[in-house]
């Protein structure tokens, strides 16, 4: 069966990654494909007013009333949805972290056509990995993501241990002014540095939300940093917790949570052991920067279930192919600041500036004529990406379609799970091992969206 196959060898995993189980669908062929409708809605986010023209998604051809729905999928089971564009500009959906066929990856000009206002596009794929992922457009990203289009994905694995509760947290900021209206999405001066921060901080589109959770229970908390700029450092007050997965990939041995950096694009799965006494609170905080803040609070309810964190079994691993480092080809990737080059006009918007480059080439925008690939990769071959951050700013570098292992760094040690997004610290150099097991054009970019949009983007071509 498919499930048995998925538990099998890396070779099986590769077959899944390149698209077994995926059936192409002619547009509008299946009327029953569940709709995901991108649209405007007026929604209260800050206390001082309703924000007009927030962008969100809704399931079905219905009005959006809040944040994008959490999309639930099952590892190894087909998923499909019809993106319906009710915005006033082109859009697409990218499935961040999912190793799915290139035609489903959502990058306009590179992997699919623009989805114009009033048009639709059918996405259909089979997620090969379980874990916490997210989705967002890959067109005019600073505006579309900044105005709301970042949603969570949970890919279930039926073999996962069962927890007493599960809470999904979508962390992001908003650039809102007086009365709750959107203000300019960025300041050029900040785009050339660490990025422009929001003015209102939320989890699940609420400021400091509170959740009830069973006293003495084990709660799985799935967190994604979907903000366009902010790098979080998470800490928990009031009870112990362990990290069971990073960027959807399980830790063989869960480790206690002390402080954890979570940059745009990244996810963490925590297990919190709730306090025994009814009403006791656990606080998730951001402790990075000069003004730490509360993200969310969990309140113990009921009589204690008396669970023990030590009883948490590791999650079953995802089926990733391991790079053969003895045969791997090395690919240097230099991330630099730049100051030349006016960006080409693009249907997916331009910020009007170029501040960054990869291997000296600034991304010209999502034009019909993208630059050459950073490198051509051969299907099934192993590679080591030698990434070097030659800037004084941090860059969360994200690769589409393939996962990699962080082999070493000149600055620190990393937790072992493979990932799709590495936070590169200022002047950090690291080596990333991967198998090119997915055919197509795969974008690599900084997930500080102002950096993505002002040059720090490129792609690999796997043939
Ligand atoms: Cu969240 Cu191009 O990625
Ligand atoms: Cu960056």
DSSP secondary structure string for all residues of 363-386: ---S-SSPPPPSEEE-TT-EEEEE
- Which residues form ligand 1's pocket by a CB distance below 6 Å? 94, 96, 136, 138, 265, 398, 400, 443, 445, 447
Res 457: pLDDT: 94
Report how far residue 353's alpha carbon sits from residue 426's, in angstroms, rounded to the nearest whole number.
22
Ligand 1, closest atom to CA 265? 1
- Give the closest residue (by CA) to ligand 1 atom 3: 96
Ligand 1, closest atom to CA 97? 1
Ligand 1 midpoint to CA 142 (Å): 12
Ligand 1, closest atom to CA 107? 2
SS3 (DSSP) at 310: helix
SS3 (DSSP) at 44: strand
Q: Which residues pair with 442 in a beta bridge?
A: 460
Residues 6+ apart with CB under 8 A from 160: 130, 315, 316
Ligand 2 midpoint to CA 370 (Å): 20
The ligand with the least distance to the CA atom of 358 is: 2
Ligand 1, closest atom to CA 136? 1
Q: Name the architecture of domain 329-462.
A: Sandwich (2.60)
Question: Measuring CA to CA, which residue among 3, 286, 282, 249 is closest to residue 165?
Answer: 282
Res 289: pLDDT: 86
Task: Tell me, yes or no, if the pTM score tops 0.80.
Answer: yes
SS (H, E, C) 232-254: EEEEEECCCEEEEEECCEEEEEE
- For the chain, where do the domains classified as CATH 2.60.40.420 start and end? 2-156, 165-311, 329-462
Report how far residue 97's alpha carbon sits from residue 152's, in angstroms, rounded to the nearest whole number.
11
SS3 (DSSP) at 449: helix
CATH superfamily ID and name for 2-156: Cupredoxins -  blue copper proteins (2.60.40.420)
Res 49: pLDDT: 94
Res 7: pLDDT: 30
> In the block, which residue shows the tokens 């990025």?
195
The ligand with the least distance to the CA atom of 92 is: 1
Ligand 1 midpoint to CA 456 (Å): 12
Res 348: pLDDT: 85
The ligand with the least distance to the CA atom of 355 is: 2
Report how far residue 148's alpha carbon sits from residue 202's, in angstroms, rounded to the nearest whole number.
11
**Cβ atoms 385, 333 nearer than 8 A:** yes
Ligand 1, closest atom to CA 400? 2
Ligand 1 midpoint to CA 400 (Å): 7
Question: Measuring CA to CA, which residue among 211, 226, 214 is closest to residue 296?
Answer: 211
Q: Name the architecture of domain 165-311.
A: Sandwich (2.60)
Residue 31 CB-density burial (10 A; 0-12 exposed, 13-18 middle, 19+ buried): exposed
Region of 311 please: left (phi>0), alpha (psi -120 to 50) or beta.
alpha
The ligand with the least distance to the CA atom of 337 is: 2
Res 110: pLDDT: 92
Provide the token pair at 108. 């306009």
Residues 6+ apart with CB under 8 A from 436: 377, 378, 379, 380, 381, 382, 383, 402, 460, 462
Report how far residue 419's alpha carbon sits from residue 288's, in angstroms, rounded to the nearest whole number.
22
Report how far residue 98's alpha carbon sits from residue 170's, in angstroms, rounded to the nearest whole number.
17
Res 340: pLDDT: 62
Res 299: pLDDT: 98
**Cβ atoms 298, 167 nearer than 8 A:** yes
Q: Is the ipTM of this complex over 0.95?
A: yes
Q: What is the DSSP string of 177-240?
A: -GGG-B--S--HHHHTTT-PPPSEEEETTBSS-EEEEETT-EEEEEEEE--SSPPEEEEEESS-
Provide the token pair at 433. 């091992």
Q: Which residues of the chain have pLDDT under 70?
A: 1-31, 339-341, 368
């Amino acid at each position: 069966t498919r499930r048995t196959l998925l538990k099998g060898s890396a070779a099986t995993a590769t077959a899944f990654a390149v698209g077994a189980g995926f059936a192409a669908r002619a547009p509008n062929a299946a009327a029953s494909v569940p709709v995901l409708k991108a649209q405007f809605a007026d929604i209260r986010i800050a206390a001082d007013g309703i924000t007009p023209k927030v962008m969100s998604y809704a399931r079905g051809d219905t009005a959006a009333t809040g944040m994008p729905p959490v999309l639930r999928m099952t590892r190894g089971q087909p998923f499909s949805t019809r993106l319906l564009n009710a915005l006033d500009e082109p859009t697409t959906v990218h499935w961040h972290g999912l190793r799915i066929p290139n035609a489903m990856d959502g990058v306009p000009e590179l992997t699919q056509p623009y989805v114009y206002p009033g048009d639709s596009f059918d996405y259909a794929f089979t997620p090969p990995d379980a874990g916490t992922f997210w989705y967002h457009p890959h067109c005019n990203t600073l505006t579309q993501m900044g105005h709301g289009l970042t949603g969570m994905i949970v890919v279930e694995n039926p073999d996962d241990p069962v927890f007493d509760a599960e809470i999904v947290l979508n962390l992001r900021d908003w650039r809102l002014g007086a009365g709750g209206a959107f203000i300019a999405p960025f300041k050029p001066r900040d785009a050339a540095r660490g990025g422009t921060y929001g003015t209102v901080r939320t989890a699940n589109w609420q400021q400091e939300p509170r959740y009830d959770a069973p006293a003495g229970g084990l709660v799985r908390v799935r967190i994604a940093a979907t903000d366009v700029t902010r790098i979080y450092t998470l800490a928990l007050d009031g009870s112990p917790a362990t990290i069971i997965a990073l960027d959807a990939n399980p830790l063989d041995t869960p480790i206690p949570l002390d402080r954890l950096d979570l940059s745009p694009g990244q996810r963490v799965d925590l297990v919190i052991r709730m306090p025994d006494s009814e009403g006791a609170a656990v606080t998730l905080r951001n402790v990075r920067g000069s003004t730490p803040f509360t993200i969310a609070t969990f309140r113990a309810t009921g009589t204690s279930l008396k669970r023990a964190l030590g009883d948490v079994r590791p999650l079953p691993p995802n089926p990733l192919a391991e790079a053969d480092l003895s045969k791997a080809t090395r690919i240097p990737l230099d991330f630099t600041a730049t100051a030349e080059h006016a960006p080409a006009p693009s249907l997916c918007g331009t910020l009007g500036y170029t501040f960054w480059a990869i291997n000296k080439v600034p991304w010209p925008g999502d034009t019909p004529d993208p630059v050459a690939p950073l490198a051509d990769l051969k299907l099934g071959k192993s590679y080591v990406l030698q990434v070097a951050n030659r800037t004084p700013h941090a860059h969360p570098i994200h690769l589409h379609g393939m996962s990699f292992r962080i082999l070493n760094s000149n600055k620190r040690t990393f937790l072992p799970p493979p990932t799709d997004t590495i936070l590169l610290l200022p002047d950090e150099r690291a080596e990333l091992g991967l198998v090119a097991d997915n055919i197509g054009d795969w974008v690599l970019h900084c997930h500080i969206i102002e950096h993505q949009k002002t040059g720090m983007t490129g792609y690999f071509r796997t043939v």
